Structure 1
Amino acid sequence: MNERIQMEYVKNVLQLLLSTPSPSGYCRDVMNAVAAEAAKLGYDMRLTPKGCGIITVPGKSSERVIGISGHVDTLGAMVRSIKANGALRFTLVGGYMLGSVENEYCQVHTRDGNVYDGTIMTTKPSVHVYPDAREMKREEAVMEIRLDERVRQADDVKALGIRIGDIVSFQPRTEFKANGFVKSRHLDDKAGVAAIFGLLEWLKREKLQPAYALNILISTYEEVGHGAAWIPGEITEMIAVDMGAMGDDLSCTEFDVSICAKDSSGPYDYAMTSKLIELAEREQLSYAVDIYPQYGSDASAALRGGNNIRAALIGPGVHASHAMERTHLDGIRHTAALLAAYVMEPAESYGTQ
C-alpha cells in the first residue's frame, strides 16, 4: 500500500489546504476547496447543517459503514474589543500558548469580506522601551494586534469595517523542504486531511472499492471540541485521522504514523487498535503506539456525543503541535497507506474487545 500513495497529489492537496485560512467557525472557503477537490476525483460532498462535509464511498458490501474523519478547522482568534489606541484585543479560538503566536503575522477577516493584515504583539513589544518586556506573563490581557493601517483610535478601526467577533487567522508560513520535511502552522489537521485524500485518489486511480462503504467526515469545529459530536447514524466504527504528538515519553516521530491507544477521552477500541498495529506491521509501515493524556479527537467528540460506535485514532507525527509545527511526507504517506490497508479488510479480520 505504501508505494501506491501518490505523494505529489497529496502535497498539492496539503498546499491548497494550508493556503486557505480556516479557524474554527470560519471554514466556508476551505470547505468549498475540499468539495471541489472531491469532485475532481468523482466524489460528491454534502454539508451537514453545522457545515461539516460528508463524502460517501460505496463499498463491496453494505453490511457496515466505516467512518473516517479529519478536520480542516485550525487554531485562530477573534476580535474581542477595539482599543482606544487603534489596536485590537483578541480572544483565542482553540487551545494554544500565547507565546507561540507572539510576533506572528495575521489577517483580520471582516464580515463584509475585507481582509486586513496585522501582527500579534504584547502591549510592551520593545525591550528598548519597557524594562519588564521580557518578564511579563503572556496572557490575553497583555496581547494585541497591531494593524497595518493608518489607525490611531478606535473610530479609525471601525471605519475600516472591523467589528467585534471578526475572525483572525495566522500566517501559516508553509515550506516544503527538498528532504521531505513540511514546516507550517495548521498541519493539525490539514496533513491528516491530505492523507485522507491520498486514500481517495488511490481508490479512484486503481478503480478499487473498499470492503465496506465509507463515510468520510471533514469536520469544522474539532479545535473547539465538537467537530464530530454528530455523525451519520449508519456508522458503526470510526477512525479519526489527526496529528500524532511528539515529546516527553512519546515514541512517535515525524516519519511515523501514530496509533493512539488512549487520550483524554479514555482508551480507544482495543480490537481496532490491535488491527491497525497488525496492518502497520504487515505493510511494513513506520508506526508508533502512544498515549496522549492532553489530547482529544473527532472520535472523542463522537463518543461523547452519544454515538454507539467503536473508534480509533491515527495520524502523521507532528512536532511542536499548536505552535510552529513540522512533519515529514513519510509520516503522511504511512498514514494514508494504513488507512488503505484498513478499509480493504473484510469483517472477519476484526474481532472484538
Structure 2
Amino acid sequence: MNNYVDYILEQAKNLLAIDSPSGYTAEVTAYLLEEYKRLGYKARLTGKGGVLADLGGEGEAILLAAHVDTLGGMVAEVKGDGRLRITNIGGMNANNAETENVRIRTYDGACYDGTLQLIDASIHVNGKYSDTARSWDTVEVVIDEPVSSKEDVEKLGIMTGNFVCFDPRTTITSSGYIKSRFLDDKLSTAILLGYAKYLKDEHITLPRKIYQHITVFEEVGHGGCGSVPEGTVEFLSVDMGCVGNGLACTEREVSICVKDSAGPYSYQTVTGLIRAAKENGIGFAADVYPFYGSDADAALRAGYDLRHGLIGPGVYASHGYERSHKDGVENTLKLLAAYIG
C-alpha cells in the first residue's frame, strides 16, 4: 500500500497548510469537497459545515469519522499598546504555543502575521522571564505591523473575535517521521481520503454501506453529534492514537482505543478490530487513553444508538508539536481495509 501512503502524506501536507481552527473551516472543507469529487465520490456539506461522503455499498452502514478542525486562538482583546490578548480554541496550551508564528484572520478577509510571545519577552530586560507561569493571561500576540496603540490595530480591521491560526511547521524526515502541529486530526483525515482512493482504484466490492464524515467541531466537543446517516449501526472514529508513559503504542503502529475518559468502547467493535489486526499481521497496540474524547463519544452522547470504536496512527506530544510515522499511517490504512473487508 506504499502508493496510497504517498498519497496520504501529500494530502496531509495540503490539509495542514490550510488554517482551520474550530469555527474557521470553510476553506479546508472546500478543498475536501473538491478532492472527493476528483476521487469520484459524492460528498456534501452538512449543516454544521462538515463533509459527508458516500463511498458506496449496501446494507447496514458504518460511518468512518475524522476531524479537520484544529486547535487555535481567538482575539479576546485589542490592548492599549497594540498587542493582542487571545483566548484558546480547544486544548491549545500556552506552555507549548509560546514563540509560535501566527496568522490573524479578520472579518473582512485580511490576514496579518504575528508571533505569540510572553509579555515582556526579552530575557535581557525581564528578570522574571523564567519564573513566569505561562497562561493565556501572560502571553500575547505581537503583530508584525507598525502598531503601538489600540487605534493602530483597529485601523487594520483587527478586532475581538478574529481567529488566530498557528503555524503547523510541517516536515517529513527521510526516516519517515511526520512532525507538525495538528496531525490531530488532519493526518487521519488524509488516511480516510487514502482509504477512499484505495477502494476506487482497487475496485473493491464493499460488504456493507460506507460513509465518511469529516467533522469540524471535534476539538470543542460536538463534532460527531449530528449528521449520522440513516441506517448507520457502527461509528468508527479515525483520530490520533495516544503515545506516552504507560501506553503501549508507538508512532509506527495503529492504536486501538479500548477506553477513554467517556468509558469503554463497544466490545464487539474492539474485538473485531483486534482480530483483524492479528489475522493480517498489522502492527497495533490496544491502549486506555486517560484524557481523551472522540467524535464517536459525542455521537453516543447525542443519543445515537450505535456500536462505536476508535483507531488511529500513534501520535506523540499531542496538542503540541506532534510526531507520527508513515508506518503508523500504513498500519491504520491496512486495519481499515482488513476490518471492513
TM-score (norm 1): 0.95
Question: Do structure 1's residue 258 and structure 2's residue 294 form an aligned pair?
Answer: no
**Structure 2: which amino acid aligns with 1:27?**
T
Which residue of structure 1 aligns with residue 16 of structure 2?
18
In structure 2, which of residues 118, 122, 126 is the aligned counterpart of residue 126 of structure 1?
A: 122
Equivalent residue in structure 2 for 1:196, among 171, 183, 192: 192
**Any conservation in 1 of the 2:243–2:314 contact (CA below 8 Å)?**
yes
- The amino acid that maps onto 1:133 is Y
1:218 Cα offset (Å)? 0.3
Q: Say yes or no: does 1:222 pair with 2:218.
A: yes
Does the CA-based 8 Å contact 2:316-2:323 persist in structure 1?
yes
The separation in 2 between residues aligned to 1:171 and 1:186, in whole angstroms, is: 10
Q: Deviations over 1:205-260 (max 9, x none)?
A: 01113211111000000000000111223211010000011111001100000000
Q: Which amino acid aligns with 1:311?
A: H
Alpha-carbon RMSD across the aligned residues, in angstroms, is: 1.0
1:294 aligns with 2:291: yes
Does 2:238 align with 1:241?
yes
**2:333 counterpart SS class:** helix
Say yes or no: does 1:42 pair with 2:40.
yes
CA distance in 2, matches of 1:341, 1:35: 26
Letter in 2 for 1:271: Q
The correspondence for 1:177, drawn from 146, 154, 173, is: 173
Please say if residues 318 and 325 of structure 1, whose CA atoms lie closer than 8 Å, have aligned partners that are also in contact: yes
8 Å CA contact 2:237, 2:309 repeated in 1: yes
Deviations 1:120-174 (A, max 9, x none): 0111312211111111111111111000001010010000011110001100100
Could you tell me how far apart the structure 2 residues matched to 1:52 and 1:7 are?
24
Cα shift at 1:97: 2.3
Which of residues 97, 100, 104 is equivalent to 2:96?
Answer: 100
Residue identity opposite 1:269 in structure 2: S
Bigger mean CA offset, 121-130 vs 97-106: 121-130
Amino acid at match of 1:104: E
Q: Does the Cα contact within 8 Å between 1:4 and 1:202 map onto a contact in 2? A: no
Q: Quick check: 1:31–1:53 contact (8 Å CA) kept in 2?
A: yes
**Is the Cα contact below 8 Å between 2:73 and 2:92 reproduced in 1?**
no
The 3-state SS of whatever aligns with 1:318 is: strand
The residue that corresponds to 1:282 in the other structure is: 279
Give the 3-state SS of the residue equivalent to 1:245 in structure 2. Answer: strand
Aligned length: 340
Structure 2 CA distance for partners of 1:4 and 1:208, relative to 1, 3 Å = farther
Percent of residue pairs bearing the same amino acid type: 42
Q: Which residue of 1 aligns with 2:111?
A: 115
Aligned counterpart for 2:135 among listed residues 113, 136, 139: 139
Structure 1 distance, partners of 2:263, 2:176, is 33
Q: How much has 1:48 moved relative to structure 2?
A: 1.1
Query: Which letter maps to 1:288?
Result: A
Q: What SS does the corresponding residue of 2:242 show, helix, strand or coil?
A: coil
The answer as to whether partners of 2:222 and 2:295 remain within 8 angstroms in 1 is yes
Q: The residue matched to 1:117 in structure 2 has which SS?
A: strand
Aligned residue identity for 1:295: Y
State the one-letter code of the partner of 1:223.
Answer: E
1:81 to 77, 84, 103: 77
Letter in 1 for 2:260: D
Say whether 1:334 aligns with 2:338: no
Equivalent residue for 2:311, pick from 314, 317, 328: 314
Question: Quick one: which amino acid aligns to residue 10 of structure 1?
Answer: I
Q: 1:235/1:314 Cα in 2 relative to 1: closer, same or farther (>3 Å)?
A: same
- Corresponding residue number in structure 2 for 1:343: 340
Question: What is the aligned counterpart of 2:163 among 159, 164, 167?
Answer: 167
Q: Which moved more, 1:44-53 or 1:71-80?
A: 44-53
d(CA) in 2 for partners of 1:148, 1:301: 39
The CA deviation at 1:5 is 5.9
Query: If the length of structure 2 is used for normalisation, what is the TM-score?
Result: 0.98
Write the letter of the residue equivalent to 2:295.
D
Could you tell me which amino acid in structure 2 is paired with residue 275 of structure 1?
G
Corresponding residue to 1:273 among 264, 270, 274: 270
Q: Distance in 1 between matches of 2:215 and 2:176?
A: 27
Counterpart residue number, 1:350: none
For structure 1, which runs of at least 5 residues remain unmatched after alignment?
345-353
Work out the CA distance in 1 between the residues paired with 2:8 and 2:24.
24
Distance 1:210 1:27 in 2: 31
> Could you list the runs of 5+ residues in structure 2 that have no partner in the other structure?
none
